[in-house]
Structure 1
Amino acid sequence: MAGHARVGEAAGPYDLADLATTAEELANSHLDLGSILVPVVEGGQVSVEMSVDNQPEAVYLLTPVGRITVAAYAAPKTPGQWREIVLELGDSIRAEGAEAITENGHWGREVFTDVPGDETHRFIGVDGPRWMVRCVASGPRETAGHLAQLARAVLAESVVRRGSDPFPPREPLPLILPDVLAEQVKMAQRQLGEEDQLAIDELPPEAYDAGPAVRPAARPVDETPTGPISRGTAMQRLRNRR
């Protein structure tokens, strides 16, 4: 049974089961990625990172002030998973020699790091009913404040489609590309795969004009901030995405 909440009230991230907003309305304002529906950012683009077995690993919203990714994970019925991850995330960042600053944000604790000579990264998490949403905002130091505001606005309008399938805590919920986006990714991958005819670094700019950027991963990369299936520290995983 639908609830009474509506997107557009900046009261999210929402659970799809609690929304009175119709599927048609969501289709006009959000990018449906299966387990998570994210609002379309005006003036932004979409970048898809694929694994070596051609599965979507991450979807980034590229904006003039930086990139934002929102992902949904399974969580226990009892909230508190994000609080645990914040502590582990801070330890992981400090182990890389960077400073991890814990700040109080709209939903609770956020983790911010400013890597010298690099870019800033802000981690925002929210616990929901049997799910957790994690948002990462990365960009230049000079746009960090604006990017943080934009990331919170995106998160406040995101919608989680948890489903009833069982998943262990911290397991990423399935990421599914919409048909149009999936077809654009396949086209870009075919162009990238023509290595014997055209070197990847010589691809003409128009190859990406009509669709999203595609960044194939050199190996499967797990975006989960912590947990038994994570590969590498938090900062290593972020560096792998540039």
Structure 2
Amino acid sequence: MVEQESAAPTRESGPWDADEPHPEADRIDLGGLRLPHNPDFDVRLASLGDQHVGVVVLYEESSLQLQALAAPRSSGLWDEVKTKILAQAKDLEEREGPFGTELSGEIKADGNVRPARYLGIDGPRWFLLAVISGKGAHDEAVFGAFVDFIKDVVVVRGDEPMAREEPITLRRPNEQTSEQAEDPQGLNPFKRGPEISEIR
């Protein structure tokens, strides 16, 4: 597996680490993830209890699920996560994709069988899992649009200690962090932000 450069301004595309040089762009700030702002995509927060743990992006009869997890500094998580997924979903096989090895095949969801592709990206102290299902798993145009979206994602790991595979916490775009509440400069309360709905 190719090691990602830690300095990495030379990389052509992301997903980016918040601490590495990356292109400035209009992105939706969800705390642990900053997502490209694309009006064609319907972005929803996925929640577990009171915690926002992932994102679902809907486009062209397809969905992209994104989840960022804390990873150890020493090694990536994709090989480990891949093994767990293969143990649960027997109809998937390994193949090479735009981010290295991916899993491709069919999954059963809500009694239906859907084509799916699992993409894993190991970053510095984080891991990003992307699951594309529906038409985008086999339609190259839709798949390519999702890949372009993933390549412009910024992961904000933060410095706090986190357990291995702990979800990096997300928040709604209009939720202030404690720092923002203390320092209101630069916030425009009248500027309408992106609309994010929630799924549980």
Which TM-score band applies after superposition, normalised by the shorter structure? 0.7 to 0.9
Contact in 2 for aligned 1:120/1:144 (Cα 8 Å): no
Query: Paired residue for 2:101?
Result: 109
Q: Does 1:83 align with 2:79?
A: yes
What residue in structure 1 maps to residue 127 of structure 2? 132
Asked whether the equivalents of residues 49 and 56 of structure 1 are also in contact (C-alpha less than 8 Å), the reply is: yes
Q: Give me the whole-angstrom Cα distance separating, in 2, the residues matched to 1:142 and 1:73.
A: 23
Using CA pairs under 8 Å that are at least 6 residues apart, name the structure with larger relative contact order, 1 or 2. 2
More strand by percentage: 2
Residue pair 1:103, 1:111 contacting (<8 A) in 2 also: yes
- Structure 1 stretches of 5 or more lacking a match? 181-209, 218-242
Map Cα deviations across residues 143-191 of structure 1 (whole Å, 9 max, x no partner).
Answer: 54333322221221111111100111111111111107xxxxxxxxxxx
TM-score normalized with structure 1 length: 0.62
Q: C-alpha displacement at 1:73, in angstroms?
A: 0.8
CA-based RMSD of the aligned residues comes to 2.8
Letter in 2 for 1:74: A
Taking every aligned residue pair, what percent have the same amino acid on both sides?
Answer: 24
Q: Distance between the aligned counterparts of 1:44 and 1:56, measured in 2?
A: 19
Question: Is the 1:83–1:109 Cα contact (8 Å) retained in structure 2?
Answer: no
* Cα deviation, residue 81, structure 1: 1.2
CA contact (8 A) 1:80 1:127 kept: yes
Query: Which structure is higher in helix share?
Result: 1
5 Å-filtered alignment, 1:223-238, equals none
CA distance in structure 2 between the aligned counterparts of 1:129 and 1:148, rounded to whole angstroms:
25
Q: How does 1:1-242 map to 2 (within 5 A)?
A: 5=9, 10-19=12-21, 21=23, 25-26=24-25, 29-53=26-50, 55-94=51-90, 99-115=91-107, 118-140=113-135, 144-179=139-174, 211-215=195-199, 217=200
Separation in structure 2 between the aligned mates of residue 60 and residue 123 of structure 1, nearest angstrom: 14
Name the amino acid aligned to 1:44.
F
In structure 1, how many angstroms separate the alpha carbons of the residues matched to 2:94 and 2:151? 20
SS of aligned partner of 1:177? coil
Amino acid at match of 1:172: P
SS in 2 for 1:17: coil
CA positional deviation for 1:52: 3.9
Structure 2 letter corresponding to 1:18:
E
Deviation, structure 1 residue 211: 4.6
Q: Secondary structure at the match of 2:140?
A: helix
CA separation of 1:161/1:92 partners in 2, compared to 1, >3 Å: closer, same or farther? same
Structure 2 unmatched runs, 5+: 1-6, 176-193
User: 2: distance between equivalents of 1:71 and 1:51?
Assistant: 12
How many pairs align? Answer: 174
TM-score by length of 2: 0.74
Shift of residue 214 of structure 1? 3.5
